Structure formats: C-alpha cells, structure tokens
Structure 1
Amino acid sequence: MAMIAGNIGMMDAAYFVGRNEILTWINATLQLSLSRIEEAASGAVQCQMMDMTHPGVVPMHKVNFDAKTEYDMIQNYKVLQEVFNKLKIEKHLEVNRLVKGRPLDNLEFLQWLKRYCDSINGGIMNENYNPVERRCRGGKERNSKGSHKATKSLHVNNVTNFGASDGAGSNKISGPKQGKIGGAMSDGVHSASNIQALTDKITGLTLSVEHLEKERDFYFAKLRDIEILCQNPELENLPAAAAIKKILYAADAKESALSEAQELLGSVNDADKTEVEADT
C-alpha cells in the first residue's frame, strides 16, 4: 500500500481530475451533499473514505463530523495520520494548510485520495458498507440527548396543532383565504417550472463539463505517452527529444516554447554542419 501511495506523483493523471468530479465522487460514495471543496477541510470526509477503503482500520468514534474550529479539525487529521501509519502509507499531511480551507490545497489532497482509493480493489466499494450508519455510530452517544429533546419538542408541537384544529368551525375556509390558497398554488406551479428549467440547465452544464474533462484526459494521456517516449534511453539524448521536452516542461503558459525548441534544433544542426565541413 505504501508503494501504491508513493507512485502517485505530481504528473499523475489524478491531479488533473476536476473539482466537480471530486465532489460527485464524495457525495455519491458517502451519501453527502457537499457543494464546495472547502467543506471537506475538516478531515472527516477523508477519514471516512479510508474507513470505506479499509473497513475496521479507522476508529470512527474519534472522527468529528461537526468539527468547526481548527482544533477539532486537527484532531480529525491526527486520526487520519494514525491510519496512514497503520497502513504504512507515506503521505505527508499539510494540516496547517488544509484546516485553513484553502481550495487548492484541499483539492490536491482529495485528488490524491481518490487516486489512492481507486487503486485499492479497483475502486470497488464494499456493498455492505453503509456510510450514513458509520457516521451515526461515531456520534450516536454525543447526539443522543439532542435527539431526545427534538423528539419531545416535535411531540408538543403536534399536540398543539391537533388541539387548534379540533375547535369549532376550524375546518371552514373563508373567501379571502381561498383566494390566497389559489394564489399560492399558482406560485407553486411557476416555482416548479422554474426549478425544472434550472435543473435542465444544470444537467446540460454538467454534461459539458464531463465532456471537457474527458477531452482533457485524452490529450493529457497523449502528452504523457510522448514524455515517456522521450525519456527512453535510446532517444532522450537526441536533439528532437530535447526540443520536445523543452515544449512539454515549459513553465510559462502565456508564451509558447516552440521558438526556443526550434532554436535548439537549429543550433544543433549548425553544429553538425560545422563538424561535417571540418571533417571534409
């Protein structure tokens, strides 16, 4: 397992997975409804992902899903670090950055985590794993009193409402009230149509994002193949391979490295011509 984690380098395709795909993966796997990467900054999500991947290794009763302060978040990461130590996973946790809720730092860690989870058993989730039950089991004792109070309050409200509706003439609806109800129904129809329109729009945008991510992954795979080819011992010292790597490893995205690559090839060609002329 340590070897698998160690093979996930910064040029791995894992770090090109978009935040929407990461959020979809988390929400679908753990039955959550996160809308932003920063919502996973507490470390609880990461702990449960490891609990799903390696059942029984994570002490879920120590994981605080309600962590809001940095202190509570750090406790979650301590649990996660202990799990990594048990599994001999050599992964450094930038806890100070993660608990700040920085989107990029948390995205990179979740990208790594997804790649790791996918590498275990082919990413196949245990069918018997119940994420909601596992979360509730950890906080069951902590939340038991609050649940009791909520149930009691709900019971009182139900009794009050029943008593109010049991009075004489309480089921009669006056004319003005009927008009208000009709207007509310009309507003409800409009709201439903607006929700449907927005849902269709979101679906269309999601499909567009998925298409773009697949296209990005396709071209990244091509570039990775070229990089591996250029690193071949028989080719890496050739001028053409050096020129190609000049383009691949260009750091400035605003300027093309093509001119530098062409100059490199030109200088090599000129040197070859000079050497040939000297030999003749």
Structure 2
Amino acid sequence: MTSRADLLAWLNDLLQINYTKVEQCGTGAAYCQVIDSIYGDLPMSRVKMNAKHEYEYIANFKVMQNVFKAKKIDKPITIEKLVKCKMQDNLEFLQWIKRFWDQNYGGQGYDPVARRKGAPTDSPATIAPLAAGGGRTAGLNVGGTRAGGRTPISGHRSGSTQPNEAVQLLQAQVKEMSVHLEGLEKERDFYFEKLREIELLVQERLESEGAPDDPTLRRIQTILYSTEDGFEVPEGALVNEGEAFADEEEETF
C-alpha cells in the first residue's frame, strides 16, 4: 500500500495544492479534482475547493457521486464517514483513488489551476482533539501540581514560558472549535430550509383542488410532523396547523 507521505506528495503535485494531512481530503474537493484529471468533464464550478463546513463537504461528494453514477464506477462512497475527516477512512479512500487513477489516467496533460479557474484552495483545517495523557498539553502540567506549588494557567514563573504556550494552544483550539460550531449551525439551517420547502410543496399538493389523495404524500407529511422525546422545534420554525388556520380566519374577517 502507498504510504501517506507518498499519497500526499502525489496529490499535491497532481493538483498543485498544499495538503499536509490525509484528513484534509475529507472535504471531497481533492477527490473530485483527481476524478476530473481522468475524465476532464467533472463540473468543477460546483466543487468548493476551500470548503470549511460539513454541508459543503457533503455537496462536494454529491458532485463526485453523480459522476461515479454517470461513468458507471462501481465504488460506494461512504460520505457520512469521509466528511468527518478521520484519517483511516480517508486514507483507505485516497489509496483507492490513487489505484483508480493509475489504472485510468491516460497521460494527457492536465492543468488543475485552469480547471478550477483559479478558485482558492486554502488547506482545510481539521479539528484535533485536546491533548490528553502523554500529549503536548499534558506534558506542560497546566494547572497541575509542580514542585513548589501550583501555577495558574494565566500566569507563569520567572524564566518559564510553558504556561503561556499552553494558553495559546488552548485559545487556538477554542477558536477552531468555534468555527466548527458555526459551520454546524449553518448546516442545520441549510437542511431545515430544505425540509421546510418539502413541507410546503407537499401541503400545496395535498390541498390543491381536485387533486387525488396521495398516500405517499400523506406519509411524507406524517414524517415531517413527527416528534421525538427531547426534540424542540426551533424558534420561528414550523407553524402549528391550528395557528395557520386561525391566521387565515383573521385575514378573512
């Protein structure tokens, strides 16, 4: 099997990017462009090369999934795993991508920058867990017992910069996690809007005059309105049917 270092070197050279970790492939952008280098007709305008949020990663993989279907490439894409940017899942898929490229690339010239029309390719960040056990933060014993007493995180002893380094590391991780949280919120809103559009479409169809009762649409509507213990409808979300009818009556009078 090709090593991680060799895979990254091949990928960076082929696509003229600067990935440092296999996990960064979890955005789907690099995978898409490798496939484009083989066939030359993947819709690169729909690929977000500097994707930063999981919903953008999913959209990239959907582009590639459509190409796989059109080209009859019999390879399942485990999107739900790859977008988590885990090393092992992406390493296995990148190894498959490399083998597929070796078998199918015809040696034709390929200009990756021109194909993506100069779109930015900022190396995507991957969220790393806080260090534990023998990790860097643990080695600093921040807030732990030291010879001569405890040193608070906000201060440092004369001649020592380790606590300040630890603070900077933690601050960087908090900032990265905040960006990740913002992305999750955008992803939630993105899918909620999709469900809202589906709800309105189903409701319009069911209430249209003369339309036959469709059990499939009724089933979809039941799923949309079903709830689970602990679920709270987001503020300003779906309006209760009774409230909707009440509003209509008020407008009528």
The TM-score, its normalising length taken from structure 1, stands at: 0.41
The TM-score, its normalising length taken from structure 2, stands at: 0.46
Between structure 1 and structure 2, the one with the greater Rg is: 1
